[in-house]
Amino acid sequence: MRKARIQIARPDIIKHFDQHPAKVFQMSEIASELGEKRDFWRLTQGTTTSAFIKFLASTGKLSSFLFPFPKPYKQKTRYAWGSPPFYEVILALKPGCYFSHYTAMLIHGLTEQTPKTVYLNDEQRLGSWLAGKLSQKSIDAAFRRPVRVTNQVAETDEFRVVIVNGKNTDKLGVVENESSGERRERFGKIRFTNLERTLIDICVRPVYSGGVSEVLKAFELAREPVSVNRLAAMFTKLAYNYPYHQLIGFYLERAGYKSSSIDLFRAMPREFDFYLVHEMKEKDYVKDWKLFIPKGF
């Protein structure tokens, strides 16, 4: 029997993808590869993108991953050539997104847990977090309500991915491809928040970070490597409307940081009573930081 053209081209096709710098693809990107190489591989127009993907899967080197995001979001499929780390596959879900919160804690070694949920930060458009004038009444009302969480959650038996619509920061404190050794092998080529940015983010959204006890543990584990000077400078650049510096100062103090480091946050104004977390039923008050915390925490 005459061999199909795609079978004749099989060694060249496999070599092409083996040598390709990317290992994770969208369907449109595979279609682009097919379009560019169709003549070289002498494939007919009858070789559609779907048929080509089916052929690539038959080589045993292409795997597909379905991310079933709910409506109104679209479910997404990503294709992996070879065996890239799953974190590289996840990072391909959104252009320019990066790992944050609990996942960044894991990358930095700031948790003793193994979180089953992966958090991606997809920054909002410029100007999407415009600050309004604060009042004690508005703060109290906001923190009596449940914290707002994203609906962009893809969940299967194997994984759970949460896309967080973060404040636009122009990717302040986001680093690329800085993992090495064992971390590189586990996470691959990744983008994620650096140590200081991670500590700020988990204070702001403990709901995406394992809760306040995990946040405190992260501050304890970060005590040696973190630069509190960089932390304070980065917090100032982020220009939050809410006084999250009161939370950071509280965690620094509870985690046993030097008084001179904590003073960087003590020097920031404390005009309002603030809250460590939303919807506290019973709470204690920390006078020095003008901060309500869960009772007994």
Using the 3D structure, point to which of 65, 94, 111 is the last residue of a domain: 65
193 with 270, same domain?
yes
Q: Check whether residue 57 and residue 99 sit in a common domain.
A: no
Same domain, 59 and 89: no
| Residue at a domain's end among 65, 93, 121 | 65
Q: Looking at residue 272, what DSSP letter applies?
A: S
Same-domain status, 31 and 168: no
Count up the domains in the chain and report the number.
Answer: 2
The predicted pLDDT at position 180 comes to 62
The mean of the pLDDT values for the chain is 93
Residue 179 confidence (pLDDT): 57
The C-alpha atoms of residue 144 and residue 283 are separated, in whole angstroms, by 12
CA–CA separation, 87 and 277 (whole Å): 29
**pLDDT band with cut points at 50, 70 and 90 for residue 127:** low
Q: Please, what's the b/e burial string for 178-207 (b: 16 or more CB within 10 A of its CB; e: otherwise)?
A: ebeeeeeeebbbbbbbbbbbbbbbbbbbbb
As to burial, measured by CB atoms within 10 angstroms (0-12 exposed, 13-18 middle, 19+ buried), residue 225 is exposed
* Whether residue 266 has pLDDT greater than 60: yes
Going by the DSSP 8-state scheme, the letter that residue 288 receives in this structure is G
Q: Rounded to an integer, what distance in angstroms lies between the CA atom of residue 50 and that of residue 279?
A: 49
Band the pLDDT of 148: cuts 50, 70, 90. Answer: very high
Could you tell me if residue 151 is inside a domain?
Answer: yes
The per-residue pLDDT for 1 is: 42
The first and second tokens of residue 245, run together, are 């510096």
- In this structure, is residue 78 part of a structural domain? no
CB atoms within 10 A of CB 233: 13
Averaged pLDDT, 261-282: 97
Question: Which range marks the domain in which residue 34 is found?
Answer: 1-65
Q: pTM for the whole thing? A: 0.93
Residue type, position 101, single letter: H
Tell me the mean pLDDT in the region 141-162: 95
User: Does residue 74 fall inside a structural domain?
Assistant: no
CB 151 within 8 A of CB 78: no
pLDDT at residue 60 above 70? yes
Same-domain check for residues 245 and 116: yes
Question: pLDDT class for 185, splitting at 50, 70, 90?
Answer: confident
Confidence (pLDDT) at 287: 98
Percent over 70 (pLDDT), the chain: 95
Question: How many CB atoms are closer than 10 A to CB 92?
Answer: 21
pLDDT at position 131, please?
58
Q: Quick one: pLDDT at residue 26?
A: 96
Per-residue pLDDT tens for 103-125? 999 999 999 999 999 999 999 87
What pLDDT band is residue 81 in, cutting at 50, 70 and 90?
very high
